[in-house]
Structure 1
């Protein structure tokens, strides 16, 4: 019979070999995993401008031809040496607005009309929520929205990832008539508010905390872009 010492050494060697093999396998799969994440992000960006594609080749082609990315700051300045796709949104959104690097994606349709796509990220009931909001060239009207989540409750908070919730945002306004930022508010249908229907969507029934998280996410992530939007508006008015 093998001694206890032999058994311990044998088990340790097997564990080390297994760990090394798993590490090599993980490194080998990393490029493919990163490519899939990048593709998913591109698909979600396109979905926020109502472009629904599932084929990799189609997503890559449309994105490559019609989407440009930049990074700005809250003062409206374009940051030339920062790549939007390299930014980690979960880190950026925790910074004060004045310190954030703000990725912005510009989609141009077949008629040459631009849409400005803002990535958003926040916290739901059980974990992170995120998405993209596309704004028309008036820098006020929402063209489309896409949201997703990690662990919200099916049938409740998870409804943010479904079309009926997302399609409510189409045509909503983020600015008041006197040019104040108000965002799109996620509130209960019966809620009494001081703003009109153009600034609100219905919260998810039974998903109060996720709805509140979505509301806060939109306010936190949209407002820092106003400096850049105002700069573009002033340039266009000249």
Structure 2
């Protein structure tokens, strides 16, 4: 008996079959492609670490270049290296929101507006041919105008001079706060000094830096034009993560050889 193709039952049957097939295709694709997505995310993170340290070069794969970097787990509270978690399986981004290993911050404790600070995270070490410390790369994050900026800052072996800074995730306004991605602005960071008498004073200035002023030349970076809140956010996040509640205890221990 011929089916009535105009019947409600037939239309719903065909629609259900199409939806079922599409759902199976989408689910299968998600499962099949997930390992590739995870791998690409990992490579992108490594690329940003290399870039912040000024080590990213053309002609070599990211994986090949990343072999020069030593990944270590750090207990932020003690400033010591830690073996609490397997560093190869540790996810710093997930750790930042894991209530079991994070500390809730009060408004006074939270100039970077991160809400919670993790107790453990990864840091990245580069050594010279003699095995001595050459560069340390630290993860940083904090709120700008619209979003949390996630990035890395790299320091020279004196643990005070900036090698580079870069953000790999944010949704700041293009052309304004989004200028944190502008290579010309990023190029101002190398050579700047983080600390003055032990306090993190590196900051963005409202306007342009006066190169004839020794303090400004050493510690300040031009503010982002038309992006006051993003500029303030970058200052706050850098000073927070390089301060006493961030990586300063670790850097002090590293300098003393006791990390």
For Structure 1 versus Structure 2, the TM-score category normalised by the shorter chain is: 0.7 to 0.9
- Displacement of 1:227 after TM fit? 1.2
8 Å Cα contact 2:154-2:165 kept in structure 1: yes
Q: CA–CA distance in 2 between the matches of 1:98 and 1:120?
A: 11
Q: Secondary structure at the match of 1:139?
A: coil
- Displacement of 1:98 after TM fit? 7.0
Let me know the Cα RMSD of the aligned residues.
2.7
TM-score by length of 1: 0.84
1:28-107 to 2 correspondences below 5 Å? 28-55=32-59, 57-64=60-67, 66-73=68-75, 74-82=77-85, 83=87, 86-89=90-93, 92=96, 95-96=102-103, 99-107=118-126
Counterpart of 1:229? 251
Equivalent pairs counted in the alignment come to: 230
Q: Higher strand fraction: Structure 1 or Structure 2?
A: 2
TM-score by length of 2: 0.78
Shift in CA distance, 196/93, structure 1 to aligned 2, threshold 3 Å: farther
2:12 to 8, 11, 22: 8
- Displacement of 1:114 after TM fit? 1.6
- Structure 1 unaligned spans of 5+: none
- Structure 2 unaligned spans of 5+: 104-115
Q: Secondary structure at the match of 2:188?
A: helix
8 Å Cα contact 1:89-1:121 kept in structure 2: no
8 Å Cα contact 1:126-1:152 kept in structure 2: yes
Shift in CA distance, 58/151, structure 1 to aligned 2, threshold 3 Å: same
- Displacement of 1:77 after TM fit? 2.0
2:206 is equivalent to residue 188 of structure 1: yes
Q: Higher helix fraction: Structure 1 or Structure 2?
A: 1
8 Å Cα contact 2:125-2:133 kept in structure 1: no
